[in-house]
């Protein structure tokens, strides 16, 4: 008795044990049901912290040696009727915040009463800084306690702003964005599936498979979040990949199942069993390799050190794996139970006829192949033109501007920046090492001259340090102040200042920039502060802001953290992209038994992704269509979005490439005719690829209604890339290039042919059995 190839054996097993398989899936779903709804609460915002970054090392040094608090939030205190400084205002403010000092995780408060820079009489607003004992990513845990400690006072408004509030609102708004996208995308996806399949039963299968994958994935993510940090942004990606790929794979499998039912032989007793077996052997094999390519794309995210990217990669891989497993087990079992009843509740007549070689897609392919250059060149020019705005991209990290204006933390931030300026709430803290005690006359002279240079720079609004107590004091007076015979300055304020800013040879210098941390001028300021040589500055001369010899610095906080995040992601991306591309080339070479087709597929994918990147710049950086899409232009592209898009889109685009090229490979193996293979392959998969892409566009397009700009950008990027890939690239560019290359498409070295011979069962081989 002959032994069936692996995927045929899998199909036969799924049909033979179909009811048991469905029972197992129902059991797993019941186990996952209590945990899936808890996943959002287990996720966290942030994820950009990395101990190796200079900004993180600066913060750690100040925490360890100076006892600096790791994080802080801001209390914005304002009134329409009372003026800051008046007895009425200050009495009301004191009552409102009196209990905050005793709230959990609060280790200190810098009141506006001792910091004139925290008062804006003209705008009738002040702010207090509340220091916390929590790391930045964990700081939202303090919000409930602080909020509970606040007391409502008539005529006074107190709002919580700063990093902790920003992270907390990111999480809550992301959850509401997810619910909104599901309410929009699921009904639309159901309508599209009904139109594509023509029957309610068939249309329900993809939703069942995708829904099962998403539900179990959320439960799995909840479990993973108990042992490692998982970003709140995995919620949206899980829905996109789970529903999108679940539907994609189901489309391919159900369409092939119908085709095999129509081709069933009267000599075989169980026509349904044979159809399931052949479906898994052909379409199931394509689904498996497609899933592998998508997961390879997501592996590129796992390779990053930042928790936000790594967690998205982990969650995405879990979701894709579940979508593949459900498509190869649950779906064949359901098809085995339904059989021809898969077309029950039809809304239109369903045909079981094998696709005609003269169908619409075949005619389109032959038309393109008659004039391949005339089609390929303009198509290439169009895709490159769509991607050209990418040449002007400006990268940056997210800030409060990505939140909708209705959110309290965004409202508080807008009020504060309007009154005090953008830079006030993103100061840079420099950890300065001196040779010997920081308060010696020699070191005071170095610090004094450097700080004066900083204060003279128009990009700097204010400098706080042990040599910035009073602008009227001279260098000699500072040296005398700190060179006390008793070993301690006589002034109590100066003693307190030294206690929190200086210890031995370490002192902290806080620089408040004139502009926000995302502004080019502020980022240039960071570069000059960190420059150690003339070449590092880039102007041929050492900047006046470069710390002089004798001072060693680590720059952290504000713009320094943004620069570190952007630069680190930019430097790590080529490595991750290379791993993804090489791994994908190997998988496709094994699947397609060709060296040329994988290289061409990677090139095609890059074109559609490039066009999506260009759209990101044109829309979200430059602000085109901002009124229509409902957001304020960022002026930059958030640095993680292109990375996430590349890894996700590379896999999704390969998804469609696998669907298309596997059918072409089957026909080429049977006929040896490249033109017939291209036309027949496009005829058999063109409708499936287009329909699958439409579902992904619907799901991703629902993110347009998200309130967080980053999620909106992710949805728009995916929708544009997938739409271009499934139409212009697959319908025009693929047939044109396949015709230009001819039989060279299928070339593989002899050693590769010998290695793979007999290991990959094609459709033609399955039919001969």
Tell me the two tokens of residue 143. 């919000």
Closest CA to 397 of 769, 760, 45: 45
Question: 768 Cβ partners below 8 Å, 6+ apart?
Answer: none
Instruction: Please report how the helices 674-701 and 709-724 are oriented relative to each other, as an axis angle in degrees rounded to 10.
Output: 160
pLDDT of residue 153: 92
Identify the H or E element spanning 502: strand 502-503
Q: How far apart are CA 236 and CA 170, in angstroms?
A: 13
Tell me the two tokens of residue 553. 């610095």
| Mean pLDDT value across residues 719-736 | 89
At residue 540 the predicted structure's pLDDT band, cuts being 50, 70 and 90, is very low
279-288 pLDDT, tens digit per residue, is: 999 888 888 9
Residue whose tokens read 């045929």: 8
Identify the H or E element spanning 446: helix 441-456
Average of per-residue pLDDT values in the chain: 85
Strand partners, 330: none
**H helices of 702-724, where?**
709-724
Closest CA to 80 of 72, 65, 92, 67: 92
3-state secondary structure 537-591: HCCCCCCCCCCCCCEEEEEECHHHHHHHHHHHHHHHHHHHHHHHHHHHHHHHHHH
Q: How far apart are CA 555 and CA 671, in angstroms?
A: 66
Asked if residue 547 has pLDDT above 90, the reply is no
Asked if residue 216 has pLDDT above 90, the reply is yes
Q: How far apart are CA 665 and CA 756, in angstroms?
A: 14
| Mean pLDDT value across residues 464-491 | 81
Rounded to the nearest angstrom, the gap between the alpha carbon of residue 328 and the centroid of all alpha carbons in its chain is 28
Cβ-contact 586, 594 below 8 angstroms: no
Query: Any idea which of 43-57, 118-132, 481-495 has the lowest mean pLDDT?
Result: 481-495
Q: How far apart are CA 565 and CA 571, in angstroms?
A: 10
Asked if residue 533 has pLDDT above 60, the reply is no
Q: How many CB atoms lie within 10 A of CB 339?
A: 16
Tell me the two tokens of residue 263. 């081709």
Pairing outcome for strands 125-132 and 395-396: unpaired
| Mean pLDDT value across residues 705-718 | 86
At residue 431 the predicted structure's pLDDT band, cuts being 50, 70 and 90, is very high
Asked if residue 761 has pLDDT above 60, the reply is no
Identify the H or E element spanning 479: helix 475-482
| Mean pLDDT value across residues 288-304 | 85
Cβ-contact 229, 307 below 8 angstroms: yes
Q: How far apart are CA 665 and CA 659, in angstroms?
A: 10
Pairing outcome for strands 428-434 and 460-464: unpaired
What is the CA angle 550-525-471, rounded to 5? Answer: 65
Q: How far apart are CA 359 and CA 27, in angstroms?
A: 44
Instruction: Please report how the helices 674-701 and 734-741 are oriented relative to each other, as an axis angle in degrees rounded to 10.
Output: 160
330-371 pLDDT, tens digit per residue, is: 999 999 998 888 888 877 765 555 556 678 888 899 999 999
For 161, phi then psi, to 5°, come to -130, -175
pLDDT of residue 350: 58
Closest CA to 252 of 700, 735, 693: 693
| Mean pLDDT value across residues 421-442 | 91
Closest CA to 302 of 648, 649, 729: 648
Q: How far apart are CA 536 and CA 531, in angstroms?
A: 5
Cβ-contact 608, 653 below 8 angstroms: yes
For 346: left if phi > 0, alpha if psi spans -120 to 50, otherwise beta; the answer is: beta
Q: How far apart are CA 488 and CA 439, in angstroms?
A: 10
Pairing outcome for strands 502-503 and 157-161: unpaired
pLDDT > 90: what percent of the chain? Answer: 34
| Mean pLDDT value across residues 614-620 | 92
Distances (CA, A) of 496 to 62, 131, 291, 466, 677: 16, 17, 61, 11, 81
| Mean pLDDT value across residues 303-322 | 88
Question: 754 Cβ partners below 8 Å, 6+ apart?
Answer: none
Q: Is 166 helix (H, G, I), strand (E, B) or coil?
A: helix
Q: How far apart are CA 109 and CA 116, in angstroms?
A: 15
**H helices of 138-225, where?**
143-149, 163-197, 200-224
**H helices of 198-284, where?**
200-224, 234-262, 271-279
Residue whose tokens read 């069993």: 273
Q: How far apart are CA 240 and CA 41, in angstroms?
A: 19
Residue whose tokens read 């930019």: 570
Strand partners, 160: 75
């Amino acid at each position: 008795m002959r032994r069936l190839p692996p995927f045929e054996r899998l199909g036969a097993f799924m049909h033979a044990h179909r009811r048991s398989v469905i029972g197992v899936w129902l059991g797993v779903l019941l186990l996952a049901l209590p945990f899936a709804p808890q996943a959002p609460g287990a996720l966290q915002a942030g994820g950009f912290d990395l101990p190796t970054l200079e900004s993180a090392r600066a913060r750690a040094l100040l925490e360890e040696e100076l006892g600096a608090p790791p994080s802080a939030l801001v209390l914005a205190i304002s009134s329409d009727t009372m003026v800051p400084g008046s007895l009425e205002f200050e009495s009301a403010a004191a009552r409102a915040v009196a209990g905050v000092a005793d709230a959990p995780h609060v280790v200190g408060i810098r009141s506006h009463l001792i910091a004139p820079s925290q008062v804006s009489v003209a705008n009738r607003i002040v702010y207090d800084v509340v220091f916390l004992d929590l790391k930045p990513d964990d700081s939202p845990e303090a919000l409930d306690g602080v909020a509970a400690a606040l007391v409502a006072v008539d005529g006074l408004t107190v709002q919580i702003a700063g990093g902790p509030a920003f992270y907390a609102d990111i999480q809550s708004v992301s959850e509401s964005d997810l619910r909104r996208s599901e309410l929009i995308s699921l009904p639309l996806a159901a309508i599209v599936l009904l139109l594509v399949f023509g029957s309610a039963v068939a249309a329900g299968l993809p939703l069942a498979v995708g829904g099962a994958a998403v539900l179990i994935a959320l439960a799995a993510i909840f479990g993973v979040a108990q042992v490692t940090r998982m970003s709140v942004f995995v919620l949206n990606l899980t829905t996109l990949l789970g529903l999108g790929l679940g539907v994609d794979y189901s489309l391919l499998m159900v369409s092939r199942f119908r085709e095999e039912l129509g081709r069933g032989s009267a000599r075989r007793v169980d026509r349904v069993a044979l159809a399931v077996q052949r479906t898994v052997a052909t379409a199931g094999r394509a689904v498996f390799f497609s899933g592998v390519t998508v997961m390879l794309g997501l592996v590129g995210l796992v390779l990053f050190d930042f928790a936000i990217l790594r967690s998205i990669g982990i969650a995405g891989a879990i979701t894709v794996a579940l979508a593949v497993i459900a498509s190869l087990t649950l779906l064949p079992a359901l098809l085995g139970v339904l059989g021809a009843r898969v077309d029950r509740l039809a809304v239109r007549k369903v045909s079981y006829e094998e696709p005609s070689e003269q169908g619409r897609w075949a005619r389109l392919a032959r038309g393109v192949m008659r004039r391949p250059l005339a089609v390929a060149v303009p198509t290439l020019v169009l895709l490159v033109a769509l991607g050209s705005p990418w040449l002007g991209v400006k990268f940056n990290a997210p800030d409060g501007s990505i939140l909708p204006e209705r959110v309290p933390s965004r409202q508080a931030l807008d009020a504060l920046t309007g009154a005090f300026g953008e830079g006030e709430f993103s100061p840079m803290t420099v950890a300065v090492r001196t040779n010997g005690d920081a308060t010696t006359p020699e070191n005071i002279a170095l610090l004094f001259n450097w700080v004066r240079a900083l204060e003279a720079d128009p990009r700097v609004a204010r400098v706080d340090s042990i040599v910035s107590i009073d602008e009227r004091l001279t260098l000699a007076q500072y040296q005398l102040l700190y060179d006390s015979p008793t070993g301690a300055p006589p002034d109590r304020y100066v003693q307190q200042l030294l206690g929190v800013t200086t210890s031995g040879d370490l002192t902290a210098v806080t620089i408040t920039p004139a502009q926000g941390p995302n502004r080019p001028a502020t980022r240039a300021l960071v570069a000059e502060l960190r420059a150690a040589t003339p070449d590092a500055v880039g102007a041929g001369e050492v900047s006046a802001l470069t710390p002089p010899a004798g001072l060693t610095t680590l720059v952290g906080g504000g713009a320094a953290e943004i620069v570190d995040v952007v630069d680190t992601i930019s430097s790590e991306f080529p490595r991750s992209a290379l791993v993804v591309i090489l791994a994908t080339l190997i998988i496709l070479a094994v699947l397609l038994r060709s060296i040329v087709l994988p290289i061409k597929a990677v090139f095609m994918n890059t074109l559609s992704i490039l066009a999506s990147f260009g759209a990101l710049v044109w829309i979200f950086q430059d602000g085109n269509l901002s009124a229509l899409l409902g957001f304020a232009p960022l002026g930059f592209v958030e640095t993680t979005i292109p990375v996430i898009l590349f890894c996700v889109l590379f896999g999704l685009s390969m998804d469609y490439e696998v669907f298309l090229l596997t059918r072409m490979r089957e026909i080429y193996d049977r006929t040896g005719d490249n033109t017939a293979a291209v036309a027949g392959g496009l005829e058999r998969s063109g409708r499936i690829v287009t329909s699958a892409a439409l579902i992904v566009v619907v799901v991703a397009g629902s993110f347009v209604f998200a309130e967080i700009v980053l999620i909106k950008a992710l949805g728009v990027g995916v929708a544009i890339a997938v739409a271009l890939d499934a139409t212009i690239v697959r319908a025009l560019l693929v047939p044109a290039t396949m015709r230009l290359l001819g039989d060279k498409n299928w070339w593989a070295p002899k050693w590769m042919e010998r290695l793979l011979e007999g290991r990959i069962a094609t459709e033609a081989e399955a039919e001969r059995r």
